[in-house]
Homo-oligomer: A and B are copies of this chain.
């Protein structure tokens, strides 16, 4: 009686962008060996995840965990249909990423003036110029590659506290004008709340329309899934998350862990929103992560509790 209209409508869909091999692995002290990274990415791809951020092109002395990213990219490119993504902080990183053959670049740009200087020793305006230069490079060398700019500290900053929303929106507009194909908003510090998430994404949609990109939420204060739900409600359809919540311990002081992919996929699938991810295979991929990072805590409440009795997943996958 209440669902008369539902069968006629196609199921809504979201894109889950797995960032564990980049955001997760660069946050832990240990370095996962190349073979283990490749095995983990294979297991993630086998679950139906169709976009994986496999590493970052940054100086090895800063992040030795990411030294083999070009080889990881080349391995990941073997998976047909998988969008292979990498983070680049600047033009030099973008050159290396394009050289390796990535399908998509993501460039972090801080909304917080204080964080921008502390993190990359560049102002926000200088970072917009960097994005413009990377877009020009892409146009010249690999026009099919997609360029995403991720506005970090968009919901607050551990250095300066609040970040004015007008500045976040102005930065999103500047990045879109600089040629970014997608502009996402990142709760780098786990300070976002659902009302703020709805407000800021709505303002982004109003300002840059369909260039509004991913919600990248952390679970520092337990609000990660609620914030993803809030973003979904106002039209966001791409979500970054990390298997096992890798990337800082999500349940510890000062934690900065990403939203747990397993819990996020379960939430959407249970809501009838299709992710294309097979939960059983996704849970199985945790073993590849464990094998590659022995002793590292791996989170996820849905894998620990198990799927609810009677829960049947209709996957687009397999």
Contacts and interface: CB of A to CB of B under 8 A. Distances in A.
B220 A255 contact: no
Interface string A216-230: 000111110110111
Interface in A259-318: 260, 263, 266-267, 270-273, 299-302, 304-306, 308-311
B222 A260 contact: yes
Contact of A2 (B165, B226, B302, B311): B165
A166 B2 CA distance: 9
Given A161-B308, A223-B267, A223-B270, 13 more contacts: A1-B166, A190-B308, A195-B271, A196-B270, A220-B301, A221-B301, A222-B301, A225-B226, A226-B267, A229-B230, A252-B304, A253-B304, A254-B305
A191 interface: yes
A101 interface: no
Q: Max chain B CB contacts within 10 Å: which of A221, A251, A266? A: A221
A79 interface: no
Query: Copies of this chain, how many?
Result: 2
Interface of A: 1-2, 156-162, 165-166, 189-191, 193-196, 199, 203, 219-223, 225-226, 228-230, 233, 250-255, 260, 263, 266-267, 270-273, 299-302, 304-306, 308-311
The 10 A-B pairs with the shortest beta carbon distances in the complex, nearest first, are A161-B310, A193-B270, A222-B301, A195-B271, A222-B263, A191-B308, A225-B226, A161-B309, A226-B226, A221-B302
22 contacts: A156-B308, A157-B309, A159-B309, A161-B309, A189-B308, A195-B272, A196-B270, A219-B301, A221-B266, A221-B301, A222-B225, A222-B266, A222-B267, A223-B266, A223-B267, A233-B233, A250-B301, A251-B251, A251-B301, A251-B304, A254-B305, A255-B304
A221 B189 CA distance: 23
A70 to B, nearest CB: 35
